[in-house]
Each structure stands twice: as C-alpha cells, then as structure tokens.
Amino acid sequence: MESIDITLDNNKIILITGGASGIGLSLTKKASDLGANVLVADIRPTPEFESWAEGKSNVLYVQSDVSHWPDFLKLFDACEKKWNDVPDAYGICAGVFEPPFSNFWQDPEQDNGYAQVDINVSHPIKLTRLAIKKSLERGKRASVCIIASIGGLGGSIAAPLYCATKHAVIGFVKSMTASESFTGVKITTICPGLVATPLFTDDKKEQYSFHENKALKPSEVATGMLDLLQKKEFKCGTVYEISIAGTRIIPEWNVAPPSAEGTGQNEAELAAGVEALLGPIKEKLRSETKGSKL
C-alpha cells in the first residue's frame, strides 16, 4: 500500500488536540484556511481561539481532558454527530512541559503516577490506536502527526521527565513504520527545537535562557505538521526535526546532534545556560538535604 496522499480541503476532517493554543491553535487556523472541518479538543478555550472561531461553521470545539480516556470517545461522537464521519487527519498537539503539578525535580506526585506521562505519552498512543480502529470501521484511511521534541532526540538535566516522554513518542512512531500497509493509517512525528508558545512561562524563560530570536514561531511548526499529514513523500514512521537552522528527516540510526541556537544542544548556549538550568534543581535539593552535603 502506497503512503497516503491527502489534501485537507472541505471534504476532510482533522481532529486537533491542544487546538486552542500554541502550535495546536496555529494548526487549527491553517487547516481551517485550507477548507477542512476542524474538531478542536482542549481542556479549555483561550480568548484568542474563541475570538477567531466565532461564526466559523467548519470549526467545532469540544472540551476534553486528554488524560481522561473516555473524553476521546466524546470527541468521536461529536465528530460523527456534526459531520457523519470520523477524522481523516489527526494533529496530536496537547502536551505539557515540566509543569508544577508534574515534574521530576519538584516531584509533587505521590499517588497516581506522573500526569505528564499520561498527557505526553499515553494520550497520543491511545488516540492513535483509536484513529486506526475508527478508520478501519469506516473503511477509510487517515494520517496522524504527533508533536515530539528535539528533547526527544537528546536530553536535558532540567527536564528529564519531559524528554523521556518525547523519547517515548519517537520510539512509538518508529515502531509503527511498517504499519500503514495493514492499517491504512500513516503515523509521523515532528521534533521542534525551541518554540515561542505558552508552555514557556516566565520562570521557564529565565531558567532556560529563552530568547525570542532563537525560537520558532508556532506557525512554522504547524506548517511542518501539515506537510507531514498531507504529503506522501513523508512516509509512516517519519521523524522530522525542525529548528531555526532548517529541517531534516532523522534516520533510525547514527544522526548527528543538532547544533542550531534554540535546540538545547548548541555548545555556547549549553555553557552559558547551565547555571540557570541547574538553579531551581539545586535549590530544591538543598531543601531536601538534612545534615549532609551533596
């Protein structure tokens, strides 16, 4: 079976998780401009999304928590009710970046596992499985693109849990490389470097030495996602890196690390930013140290 070639025009439906802000909102806008019907899943609408979506009959917002699996079925039900079909494409954008309620160094969770893993890993994997199931039931093909990160190709001492979740996404997508021939669903992932999104709160901007001129715009990542979703040249299992230095497809083995600014691997940035990165971690560890020195 040849890799899917899809055009997101007015006959197509795209489901976008995290579609009310950041990269997801940019993808929502671009898909709508192409003429697609857009199903936006997010935990809450943002003022920017509400203002933009007002009066657009091809955009449907459904409140949903991607860590709560029954909400996925609510999304498919809403899609079938409005458009009498299931999605042709999926932009899986919802995610968190070491939030205060779920991160490694602050370690706030004691009872139910890491919420960051539920959001960043379990959500895209489960939704992809449902995309396959729903597409097979309808006898149609589909295309899935999941946001990972350059952090999923390397690592960061300040964000080990986040990087681990993105490594998991990349491993999952690579594992699905041969699946399109029998599922009819293409699965790809995009790995952005630094992106100017709401995930970079003021405290993170300071810790990670955030500079606007080193960051991608959300719209640039969304454009890359549209290419992965629509163009058959990007085959199932594609891992696609994007940074201010440009784009490249990551081979399964022996890829050189990225070196552009805003990727977290630039030598000058690493040297200059290490103290800022380690500051909150060392402060937390000092609070846990009793009667001894690290």
Tens of pLDDT, residue by residue over 206-227, are 888 778 888 899 999 999 999 9
Tens of pLDDT, residue by residue over 218-275, are 999 999 999 999 999 999 999 999 999 999 999 988 788 888 878 777 777 767 677 7
Task: Measure the CA–CA gap between 93 and 90, rounded to whole angstroms.
Answer: 9
Percent of the residues in the chain that have a pLDDT greater than 70, as a whole number: 98
Query: Mind listing the domains of the chain with CATH numbers?
Result: 13-288 (3.40.50.720)
* Residue with the larger pLDDT of the pair 288 and 50: 50
Q: What is the pTM of this model?
A: 0.91
pLDDT value at residue 291: 62
Please count the helices (runs of H) and the strands (runs of E) in the chain: 10, 8
pLDDT value at residue 293: 55
Highest mean pLDDT among 76-90, 185-199, 248-262: 76-90
CA dist list (Å): 231 to 72, 80, 105, 147, 186: 26, 26, 40, 17, 11
Mean pLDDT of 60-73: 97
pLDDT value at residue 219: 97
Task: Measure the CA–CA gap between 8 and 1, rounded to whole angstroms.
Answer: 21
pLDDT value at residue 292: 55
